[in-house]
Amino acid sequence: MYELIKITDKTYYIDCPAKIGIYRFSEKGVYLIDSGSDKEAGRRVRKILDEQGWQLAAIINTHSNADHIGGNRYLQQQTGCKIFAKGIEAAFTRFPVLEPSFLYGGFPCKELRHKFLMAEKSEAEDISHPDFPRELEVIPLPGHFFDMIGVRTPDNVVFLADCISSPTTIQKYKITFIYDVAEYLKTLDNIEKLQGDFFVPAHAEASADIKKIVNINREAVTEISGFILKKLAAPQTYEELLKTAFDEYGLTMNFEQYVLVGSTLRSYLSYLSDSGELTAEFSENRLLWRKK
């Protein structure tokens, strides 16, 4: 874990729970693509950089989920590096309480205010800032989170953030987190056609060919959509459907899974409603969803 993997002469990644990219833009200068889950991840990254004699110039955050920005604060304090993220992701990075607040739908209780869902704040600039390293190509990857991006290095290695999950991850979590299902499906279509010499997803095996795993992720969305439509043959509330999903997929509910799976389930309801496959009605002060 936290092994430095060389892809090309200038592009590397650190193999860890959410893979961290490294692009060496000069003999000693490097950019990071994401920073890991917490301060300890930041320390491990710093150790690797020091061992190589590299100096950190900037971190490009693909998105603001805590497992991708958790090392930001430590690394920024230690090196003075700049941090860049796109749009709302930069705001979430500066004000990380926004993540558990968004997931919960209100002020998050203390069981949700921890490093898994709320990183330490760090000072991030938007990728439109003039200091953003223009040799890196930004690839929009919306769907998993608000303004998520991928990054292509000059030697044609593409870092794909969280837009695809490994089969093992899908099997373990069943309902993987998605913010906008329609945009997520478009992103899968786009990356399936994306040209690159090598691809590095954060939560799947790095590979020169990602078409098979893209299709596995697409099939997972189709499966969850079908499950919801089947269960809503008769009207149900969101909470009733959530319990059914946990029961049938063998999931264990706790605060983290309640907000992660729950938020994703709400996104599926919006997607299926917007596409005309579900209808919503209010009855006896309850919001009921059912298949059309």
Q: Taking 90 as the threshold, does the pLDDT of residue 148 lie above it?
A: yes
Residues 15-33: pLDDT tens digits? 999 999 999 999 999 999 9
Q: Taking 90 as the threshold, does the pLDDT of residue 101 lie above it?
A: yes
Pair 153, 272 in one domain: no
**How many domains in the chain?**
2
Amino acid present at 215: N
Pair 169, 250 in one domain: no
Q: What percentage of residues in the chain have a pLDDT greater than 70?
A: 100
Q: What is the mean pLDDT of residues 193-203?
A: 97
Nearest to 118 by CA among 91, 92, 93, 100: 100
Pair 119, 247 in one domain: no
Domain boundary among 168, 188, 223: 223
What mean pLDDT, rounded, does the chain reach?
98
Domain boundary among 201, 223, 245: 223
Pair 278, 139 in one domain: no
Q: Return d(Cα 287, Cα 182) in angstroms, integer.
A: 23
Pair 196, 255 in one domain: no
34 within 8 A of 61, measured Cβ to Cβ = yes
What does the pLDDT read at residue 270? 98
Beta strand 20-24 with 29-33 is antiparallel
Residues 248-270: pLDDT tens digits? 999 999 999 999 999 999 999 99
Domain boundary among 170, 188, 223: 223
Residues 38-56: pLDDT tens digits? 999 999 999 999 999 999 9
**At CA 272, angle to CA 271 and CA 273, rounded to 5?**
90
pLDDT band at residue 282, thresholds of 50, 70 and 90? very high
Amino acid present at 194: L
Pair 143, 27 in one domain: yes
pLDDT band at residue 1, thresholds of 50, 70 and 90? confident
pTM of the model: 0.97
Which DSSP string corresponds to 239-283? Answer: HHHHHHHHHHTT----HHHHHHHHHHHHHHHHHHHHTTSEEEEEE
CATH code of the domain covering residue 270: 1.10.10
Q: What percentage of residues in the chain have a pLDDT greater than 90?
A: 100
Pair 102, 156 in one domain: yes
Q: Which tokens sit at 32? A: 């990071």
Q: What is the mean pLDDT of residues 168-180?
A: 97
Q: What is the mean pLDDT of residues 185-192?
A: 98
Q: Taking 90 as the threshold, does the pLDDT of residue 277 lie above it?
A: yes
Pair 31, 141 in one domain: yes
Q: What is the mean pLDDT of residues 198-217?
A: 98
Q: What is the mean pLDDT of residues 189-206?
A: 98
CATH code of the domain covering residue 92: 3.60.15.10
Pair 211, 277 in one domain: no
Pair 274, 180 in one domain: no
Pair 238, 219 in one domain: no
Q: What is the mean pLDDT of residues 230-236?
A: 98
What does the pLDDT read at residue 179? 98
Q: Taking 90 as the threshold, does the pLDDT of residue 60 lie above it?
A: yes
Pair 21, 132 in one domain: yes
Range of the domain at 109: 3-223
